[in-house]
A and B are shown apart, each in its own frame.
Chain A
Amino acid sequence: MSSTILDPAAAATVAGPPAREPRKRRSSTTRKTLGDWMILLVAILIGLLIAVPFFLILINSFKSPADYNAAGPLTLPTDLYFDGMVNFWQRVDFPEKLWNSFFISSVVAILAVLVSLLNAFALGIGRVRGRTWIVLLILLANMLPQEVLLYPLYFMFKSVGLYDNQWAVIIIFVVIQSAFGTYLLASVLGTFPKEILEAASLDGANKWTMLWRVVYPITKPTLSVLVIFFFIWTWNEFLIPLTFLVSNASQTVPVSIAVLQGDRLMDVTTTSASALLGLLPTLIFFLIFQRTLTRGITAGAVK
């Protein structure tokens, strides 16, 4: 995780030919036509439209119930009201739920990426016989409606004492998320630049070394995207955590929001505050890591 900047260089050393310097894009940064501005305007309008519900969450989280009842959801709060937030925070023991979600999602993200990479190495680079069918079999994890898993897995985990244990949820989601990861990575690795692998094998690297010294660094941008996706997807999962984490102390953030919501004891602004608090962690996570989404220099530099 630490040596992202070194990767292209490392890859180039193994590969022989030095990676080309990406040429500075100076050509058209200054010339902007009216059409360009129009397109920018359209892009911004789409963005605003998409963001409307988020503004609604934001303004209603700081409104008092009386204010909401008088003026409806669209107006700005007359004065800032924090009771909704405090109320929700204390009632669900938010820090505990936050930690549960964080723990489950990060372990799943890392393990699922690892499993995806191993699978995809065999399928995309190794081109194991019948790989299309193996990908298909693995994709079953993605195809199966989750309701199908509830009864059988309930009995299975109960019999090994993992029911109401976060590791049950972790194992299930590692399998489900790595199905997508395997498919995406195997597709990408299927078009992996052969010259690099040839050069590395001339240097006498074995498969394990090649996986970690050549394939891993070059696919890192894709792997980071997967980590981000898996983390957020797992964080937002609902049905399986709801079923397998019955005790309050092991619940995740979305489950605790839904359970409170189901109680019908919450006023609208507490609901809104819970929505804001439920959204913030993934938002912060995404904002921190969205830079990795743009760091894709490596694979293109060798082609």
Chain B
Amino acid sequence: MTKASVADAPVVARKAGVRPLARQSLIPGSNPRTFWIYLVPGLALLTLIIVVPLIWNIYLTFTDYRGIKPPEWVGLENWVKLAGDTTFWTSFSNSIAMIVAMVVVPTLLGLVLAAMLFDLIGKKFGGKIASFLRATYYLPQILPGVVAAIVIGWILRPQNGALNQVLEGVGLGGLAQNWLGNPDTALPSIMVIMIWVQLGYPIVIFMAALQRVDPELYEAAELDGANWIQRFRAITVSIIRPEIFVVTLTCTIAALKVFGPIYTLTGGGPGTSTIVPAYYAYSEFFQSQQVGYGATIATALTIVIAIVSVVFLLAQTRLERQEEER
């Protein structure tokens, strides 16, 4: 691919200098600048719905605003308060638990399961079984959060909840407890729930990506005596790498700003054992009516998410370029 394109566009490459490929569009002879028009509708909407509220929000972090009287300028007061706020730091350490439950486990497990379904089960037992299993894994993703909360509420409820009943039924009644009400088990319970919710997402994306893989590649590798793990590493992981990036980044963002399950299941409690930044911001915004401070928490969260995303996207772009120049 690369060889052909360099040969086809020597002029452009010479003009652009050191990194020829990064400076030209994939359509030969067309200037990247002429593509700007395609970004106009998207960027216009983005400015209106996202950028303006974001700036307004940043302004609010420097004010004391209770939602009724107009905002009152207080300088850095909110930020100073934030730095010394233990609840805020607890909420961020809980975010790490959310990243484990929503990114690390689902992506790794999803990669293995997707490859297993596509490469092994799909081929040996038929595509029907593979699609059926994929649909099953994806079920929690289509469940409205409100509904999920109702069901999980039953399962984990201390009195005659399904999980405790099952434990008693198999003679492990001693383990039964108030899963979401006990500070020791609330966060682990939420983590298990989030793994359950998230797992289907990487599986579906990865399996769609695997469709791009030329089946002949697998057959050739198989004929060469490559075993399943070798094929997985050499073919699967390298071909679906763009999707691995997308899944990891979007799940990390989702984990950092997770809100719905906390809101519906625990309200951050008991105490602050399951509080997360987005929920903390929400409770300051709408329960304490400390809009200025809520905005500060939310802005801090946005900054953290933005930094993670920048690091991620730069790494992805660099890898993409290396791949092309190889």
A interface residues (Cβ-Cβ under 8 A, vs B): 22-23, 25, 27-29, 31-32, 36, 39-40, 43-44, 46-47, 50-54, 56-57, 60, 72-74, 115-116, 118-119, 121-129, 132, 134-153, 156, 171-172, 174-176, 178-180, 182-184, 187-195, 197-198, 201, 207, 210-211, 221-222, 225, 232, 235-236, 238-239, 253-254, 257-258, 261, 271-272, 274-275, 278-279, 282-283, 285-287, 290-291, 293-297, 299-301, 303
Contact = CB atoms under 8 A, between A and B. Distances in A.
A7 to B, nearest CB: 13
B29 A201 contact: yes
Contacts of B124: 28-29, 31-32, 36
A188 B23 CA distance: 18
14 contacts: A22-B215, A25-B215, A40-B121, A40-B129, A43-B121, A50-B136, A53-B155, A137-B43, A141-B46, A145-B302, A151-B285, A232-B142, A293-B208, A300-B211
B136 A47 contact: yes
Interface string B22-55: 1111111110111111110111011011111110
Given A296-B212, A299-B212, A145 B257 contact: yes
Contacts of B50: 140-141, 144, 149, 175
Interface residues of B, number: 122
B211 A296 contact: yes
Interface of B is mostly: helix
Given A72-B165, A225-B205, A207 B42 contact: no
A195 B54 CA distance: 42
Interface in B283-320: 285-286, 291, 294-295, 298-299, 301-302, 305-306, 309-310, 313-314, 316-317, 320
Contacts of B10: none
B202 interface: no
Contacts of A271: 150
B54 A148 contact: yes
A297 to B, nearest CB: 7
Given A23-B216, A127-B26, A210-B27, A56 B155 contact: yes
Interface of B: 1, 4-5, 8, 22-30, 32-39, 41-43, 45-46, 48-54, 56-57, 67, 113, 116-117, 120-121, 123-127, 129, 131, 133-148, 150-152, 154-155, 160-162, 165-166, 196, 199-200, 204-205, 207-208, 210-216, 219, 222, 242-243, 245-246, 249-250, 253, 257, 259-260, 277-278, 281-282, 285-286, 291, 294-295, 298-299, 301-302, 305-306, 309-310, 313-314, 316-317, 320
A278 B147 contact: yes
B144 A235 contact: yes
A145 B142 contact: no
Contacts of A253: 144
A57 B166 contact: no
A144 B205 contact: no
Contacts of B162: 56, 72-74
Given A122-B35, A222-B208, A238 B146 contact: yes
A254 B142 CA distance: 12
Contacts of A221: 208, 211
A191 B147 CA distance: 39
B83 to A, nearest CB: 19
A142 B260 contact: no
A57 B151 contact: yes
A127 B309 contact: no
Nearest to B200: A50
B125 A32 contact: yes
A285 B135 CA distance: 12
B141 to A, nearest CB: 7
Nearest to A139: B309
B2 to A, nearest CB: 9
A122 B49 contact: no
Contacts of A149: 49-50, 53
Given A52-B155, A136-B310, A236-B144, 8 more contacts: A27-B222, A147-B259, A152-B57, A188-B242, A278-B144, A279-B143, A295-B211, A296-B212
Contact of A152 (B22, B56, B314): B56
B138 A148 contact: no
B123 A28 contact: yes
B135 A287 contact: yes
A-B CB proximity, top 10 nearest: A296-B211, A126-B35, A152-B53, A122-B38, A122-B35, A47-B136, A187-B242, A282-B142, A300-B212, A254-B144
Contact of A279 (B48, B144, B298): B144
